Amino acid sequence: MRAVAATGADASRAAFRSFVDEVVIPRAGDFDLAGAVPPDVVAEVAARGYLGAVLPDGPLPLDMVGLGALHEEVGRGCSSLRSLLTVHSMVAFAVHRWGGDAARERWLGPLADGSALGAFCLTESGAGSDVTGLAATAEEDGRGGYVITGHKRWITFGQVADLLLVFARTGAGIGAFLVEAADPAVRRAPVRDVLGTRAGMLAEITLIGCRVGPEALVGGPGTGLNVITGALDVGRYSVAAGCVGIAQGCLEISAAHAATRRQGGALLKDHQLVRRMITRMAVDTEAARLLCLRAGRLKDEGDPGTLVATCAAKYFAAGVAARAASDAVQVHGAVGCVDGHPAARYYRDAKVMEIIEGSSQVHENLIAEDVCRTGGVPRSASPAVPLQGLPPDETTRWEIA
Amino acid sequence: MAEDTRAVVGQFVRGKMPKVELGDDQDFFELGFVNSLFAMELVMFVENRFGLRVPNDELRRENFRSVSAISDLVDRLSPAREPVPQEATA
């Protein structure tokens, strides 16, 4: 069975795959055991332009389909490293879309070349996908700036990020603020021994009276919810693609193991029940890839349908990754249950994918709301509305205050 | 121009809630169908369909609450815009 997304004229995918095979996969187990992606790997990812790939004027101009291919391939090698691409892309996207001139001038270059790493600081003890419990505050300082106080949890790559996109309550609603991690009012503590994406360098981040200027505000003082929604769309797309990568990785190691391991006098690949698992992995992976491809194409076309399509892709791909990883461990048996084995790592990482960027249950709510509103009419049966596209140099601003 | 814009906007919005008899002035936020994703869809539609940028100070709920409100926003933001081709509304 030939993977659809690998059949196009996408030479970039071959380069991504080669990088992952040569640089990431041989060391991904070590990253997992050490709980960190080493700086030299981050530097190589940055040098290749992968960190800034979400930016239209970045060092590696990719369309969204191409970005999905990049995140899939990196996800095949190491979900922790893919998580860096995810959160960094979310911050870069937010600065590009909603940042003011000063913020764009200051940060887009470093975010594009990776000299500054971004982290997305939304989650708190009482707030995540549901932001109603957001407790961090940003009080006006009387000079146009703000004083931010709050405690953020589970911040991916928060241990090493240079630029934090922090969400906090303002007098007008929720605001999004750029905070330099080196600010003395920012404290961060590593979170270790997590179930999956162990090299994701998670941190708890505490801001104690952190002062920022007016240029730190991304969007309006009350439009942070829209920044969250827009950035999450990028994050969900990235995670969906990364899940396809997990499933693809599970498929490849399972097929290889089944072709060499004998059981009961026959190779595993010749046992029908093993064949069933491998077949399910292959077909599920391809189906998830197609949903990602659809979401990416809609993004490239500027079609509003991409928002729900991305939710569908993330929801489905996360389930596929979890099932494929479970089956990969099953195919490998005891050897796949050991720390350091890729099947075990895929299994732990895949579970995390069903939780981050909106849990599977959150996605069930979002998708069901869309279906109930539209009546479930297939998209292809709806009349097409021709799109004119944005004028050159304009950016989409998905905000409604 | 306004009539054509309204037809295009109405086609999109009614396509998104085909089971509802939606008048041009009906507030569809009040119907309970609008979540954060749909709100974003509306903005994406306006910008990509009409090739314009909605500035921050226009990103208010009252500008997106009905077919009429969206149409007025589009016409206000693009006073020199060419009329929408009739086939686009078919």
User: Could you please report the per-residue DSSP string of B59-83?
Assistant: --GGGTSSHHHHHHHHHHH-TTPPP
Q: How confident is the model at residue B87 (pLDDT cuts 50, 70, 90)?
A: very low
Average model confidence (pLDDT) across chain B: 83
Query: What is residue A232's predicted lDDT score, i.e. its pLDDT?
Result: 95
Query: What is residue A397's predicted lDDT score, i.e. its pLDDT?
Result: 36
Query: What is residue A380's predicted lDDT score, i.e. its pLDDT?
Result: 58
**Domain boundaries of chain B, sorted by first residue:** 2-80
Query: What is residue B54's predicted lDDT score, i.e. its pLDDT?
Result: 78
Please report, as a single letter, which amino acid is at residue A207: L
User: Could you please report the per-residue DSSP string of A166-195?
Assistant: EEEEETTEEEEEEEETTSTTEEEEE--S-S
B47:A396 CB<8 A: yes
Kindly list the residues from chain B whose CB atom is less than 8 angstroms away from the CB atom of residue A383: 11, 15
The CA distance from B37 to the nearest CA of chain A, in Å, is 6
Query: What is residue B78's predicted lDDT score, i.e. its pLDDT?
Result: 85
Kindly list the residues from chain B whose CB atom is less than 8 angstroms away from the CB atom of residue A396: 43-44, 47-48
For B63, which residue in chain A has the nearest alpha carbon?
Answer: A400
Taking the C-alpha atoms of residue B16 and residue B20, their distance in angstroms, rounded to an integer, is: 9
Taking the C-alpha atoms of residue A288 and residue A286, their distance in angstroms, rounded to an integer, is: 5
pLDDT average, residue stretch B42-52:
91
For B39, which residue in chain A has the nearest alpha carbon?
Answer: A400
Of B36, B47, B61, the CB nearest to A390: B47
- What's this model's pTM, rounded to 2 decimal places? 0.91
A399:B56 CB<8 A: yes
B43 touches A at CB < 8 Å: yes
Neighbouring CB atoms inside 10 A of A361's CB total 12
B43:A397 CB<8 A: yes
Dihedral of CA atoms B16, A54, A88, A81 in degrees, nearest 10, equals 100
B8 touches A at CB < 8 Å: yes
Of A373, A377, A389, the CB nearest to B48: A389
H-helix or E-strand spanning residue A113: helix A101-113
Is residue A12 within 8 A of residue A61, CB to CB? The reply is: no
Q: How confident is the model at residue B79 (pLDDT cuts 50, 70, 90)?
A: low
Is residue A101 within 8 A of residue A92, CB to CB? The reply is: no
A400:B43 CB<8 A: yes
The CA distance from A380 to the nearest CA of chain B, in Å, is 12
Closest to A400 measured CA to CA, from A237, A279, A230, A265 = A230
Query: What is residue B18's predicted lDDT score, i.e. its pLDDT?
Result: 86
Query: What is residue A130's predicted lDDT score, i.e. its pLDDT?
Result: 78
Is residue A33 within 8 A of residue A41, CB to CB? The reply is: no
* Residue A163, CA distances (Å) to A35, A91, A115, A120, A128 in order: 21, 8, 10, 9, 20
Query: What is residue A11's predicted lDDT score, i.e. its pLDDT?
Result: 77
Dihedral of CA atoms A262, A263, A268, A274 in degrees, nearest 10, equals -170
Task: Find how far residue B3's CA is from the centre of its chain.
Answer: 12
For B87, which residue in chain A has the nearest alpha carbon?
Answer: A386
B88 touches A at CB < 8 Å: yes
Low-confidence ranges of chain A (pLDDT < 50): 2, 4-9, 391-401
Superfamily of domain B2-80: ACP-like (1.10.1200.10)
Kindly list the residues from chain A whose CB atom is less than 8 angstroms away from the CB atom of residue B8: 385
pLDDT tens digits along B18-35: 888 899 999 988 888 788
Assign A401 to helix, strand or coil: coil
Domains and CATH numbers, chain A: 9-113 (1.10.540.10), 118-221 (2.40.110.10), 225-394 (1.20.140.10)
A388:B51 CB<8 A: yes
Of B40, B48, B88, the CB nearest to A307: B40
Interface test with B, best of A132, A218, A298, A373 (most B CBs within 10 A): A373
Could you give the residue ranges of the DSSP H alpha helices within A259-335?
A: 272-301, 306-332
Query: What is residue A401's predicted lDDT score, i.e. its pLDDT?
Result: 41
Kindly list the residues from chain A whose CB atom is less than 8 angstroms away from the CB atom of residue B61: 400-401
B60:A369 CB<8 A: no
Query: What is residue B2's predicted lDDT score, i.e. its pLDDT?
Result: 54
Query: What is residue B85's predicted lDDT score, i.e. its pLDDT?
Result: 53
Assign A275 to helix, strand or coil: helix
Query: What is residue A223's predicted lDDT score, i.e. its pLDDT?
Result: 83
In total, chain A counts a number of residues equal to 401
For A384, which residue in chain B has the nearest alpha carbon?
Answer: B12
Query: So what's the ipTM on this one?
Result: 0.84
pLDDT tens digits along A319-343: 999 999 999 999 999 999 999 999 9
Statement: residue B90 has pLDDT above 90: no
